Amino acid sequence: MRDLLKSNGIIAIIAIIALTLIFTACDPDDDPNGTDDPVTTVYVAGDYRSDNTTVACYWVDGTRIDLDTFNESYSFSNTRIFVQDSNVYVMGRYNFHPFNQNFYYWVNGTRTNMQLTVPAEAVPRYGVNFFVHNNNVYAFGSYSYYDDSSDNYYWIACYWVNGVKTNLAVPAGTEFSQTINMFVQGNNVYVVGYYRDDSKDIYCYWVNGINRTYITFPANTKWHNVRDIFVQGSNVYVIGSYTDSNDKSIACYWVNGVRTDLTISSVDRILVQDNNIYVRGQYRDNNNVIVYCYLVNGTRIDLEIPAGGTWAQISNFFIQDGNVYLAGTYYYEQPDSSVCYWVNGIRTDMEVPAGVSQSEGGFNIFVQGSNVYVAGSYTDSNDKSIACYWVNGVRTDLTVPIGHNSSAGDIFVVTK
């Protein structure tokens, strides 16, 4: 009998343990299949400055990671930050001469000196910009060099992929060419820009640096330019503006070379989503006041700034689910300014400490779900610049060593 009870007791204990394991395994808080709440990580690129030095850095959820130190007598700026497959890319430029720049990018804190494989006698020039696509680093701009035999400076438009340079094909003898913007779709690289033929700028876009397509303007145009390119499927969109024979500035866009004039005077950005064409730009009203706006399929929506605001700097443009997000800074009498963003034309001002009348930023806007993220800075009561970011207008200051000025230039958000 004792042995039977003992056996039954062992069976009962085993059953209890088994049930405990089953219920523990079924605890929803420990489900490895994704029922845990998603985690959002905020990445911000910037720098801080003091004692004749500038330190490049970025923050991850407010924790600062220092990159490199630069001589403050020259200017340095962190321009972009991207995160792909847990890799953190930070791009920056170092202006050591009014005409010369060094370009850098860091991957997880390791720097690549982007001399961009230009010829040994050449230097990268103005207009270089960066972005990351499928973990490849793209840059576009130009480089220049002096040719002794012709006693001329040559400016060569090009782009780079992971530091490998591709010159943009131009007619033989061309002395000056420049890129304006770039778009990557699949394995194809689209670059919009121009080259100079005598004193005339010839606008076009290139596909993979070789196939050149010209952008045509009306006859008798006095002045013209292009500003951006976007590709969706087989359609290539380009925006620009021109001045007609009456000196009226007219903004326009092209789809596969077919031009459509707009009701505003200048444009600088185009996005396409679900076959809807979104264009950012500006015009002057009947009182000759600049009005900032965007258009959806030609319909204009003005961006309101408060009474007394004199002008604005609209820095970014983002479309999600048909909603239009823009970020920037509007200005009163200098130096008073305020960072803000607009959603479908409705403005939200960024919160700053009481008594602060100067904040700048909105260089980038990032939208994740229902949350809107903006990076920037404000000037405190001690005249120090404080790097920060805002989520739905609520501010988080970013830490740097005491007494240093700091700024934040870009923001990227990952939710897993």
Same domain membership, residue 51 and residue 31: no
pLDDT at residue 172 is higher than 90: yes
Instruction: Identify whether 241 is part of a domain.
Output: no
Same domain membership, residue 416 and residue 320: yes
Pair of tokens at residue 193: 């820009």
In the structure, what pLDDT confidence band is assigned to residue 256 with cuts at 50, 70 and 90?
very high
Task: Give the whole-angstrom CA distance, residue 416 versus residue 413.
Answer: 10
Same domain membership, residue 411 and residue 315: yes
Task: Give the whole-angstrom CA distance, residue 47 versus residue 385.
Answer: 11
pLDDT in tens, 209-220: 999 999 999 988
pLDDT at residue 23 is higher than 60: no
Sheet holding 87-97, edge to edge: 75-84, 87-97, 100-107, 110-114
pLDDT in tens, 38-69: 899 999 999 998 777 888 899 999 999 998 77
Instruction: Identify whether 165 is part of a domain.
Output: no
Instruction: Identify whether 248 is part of a domain.
Output: no
Instruction: Identify whether 273 is part of a domain.
Output: no
Rounded mean pLDDT, 115-135: 70
Q: Is there a contact between 358 and 378 (Cβ–Cβ < 8 Å)?
A: yes
Lowest mean pLDDT among 4-13, 169-178, 208-217, 340-349: 4-13
Same domain membership, residue 48 and residue 30: no
Same domain membership, residue 55 and residue 15: no
Same domain membership, residue 63 and residue 19: no
Instruction: Name 129's bridge partners.
Output: 140
Same domain membership, residue 30 and residue 101: no
Same domain membership, residue 361 and residue 384: yes
The mean pLDDT value of the chain amounts to: 84
Residue 351 CB-half CA count within 13 A: 9
pLDDT at residue 127 is higher than 80: no
Rounded mean pLDDT, 228-257: 95
195: left (phi over 0), alpha (psi -120 to 50) or beta: beta
- pLDDT at position 278: 97
Instruction: Name 326's bridge partners.
Output: 317, 342
Sheet holding 385-391, edge to edge: 359-368, 371-379, 385-391, 394-397
Q: Which of 269, 360, 325, 339 is nearest to 46 (CA)?
A: 360
pLDDT at residue 261 is higher than 60: yes
Instruction: Identify whether 247 is part of a domain.
Output: no
CB atoms within 10 A of CB 389: 27
- The structure's pTM equals 0.85
Q: What values do phi and psi take at 296, rounded to 5? A: -120, 110
Q: What values do phi and psi take at 236, rounded to 5? A: -110, 120
Instruction: Identify whether 115 is part of a domain.
Output: no
Q: Is there a contact between 228 and 269 (Cβ–Cβ < 8 Å)?
A: yes
Q: How many domains does the chain have?
A: 2
Residue 166, amino acid: T
- pLDDT at position 296: 97
pLDDT at residue 27 is higher than 80: no
Instruction: Identify whether 400 is part of a domain.
Output: yes
Residue 300, amino acid: R
Same domain membership, residue 405 and residue 309: yes
- pLDDT at position 124: 58
pLDDT in tens, 283-336: 999 988 889 999 999 999 999 888 777 778 888 889 999 999 999 888 877 668
Place of tokens 């005077």: 265
Instruction: Identify whether 29 is part of a domain.
Output: yes
Where is pLDDT greater, at 26 or 121? 121
pLDDT at residue 3 is higher than 60: no
Same domain membership, residue 314 and residue 395: yes
Same domain membership, residue 402 and residue 363: yes
Instruction: Name 106's bridge partners.
Output: 90, 111
Percent of the chain with pLDDT over 70: 83
Same domain membership, residue 97 and residue 29: no
Residue 104, amino acid: Y
Domain limits at 380?
Answer: 41-109+304-416
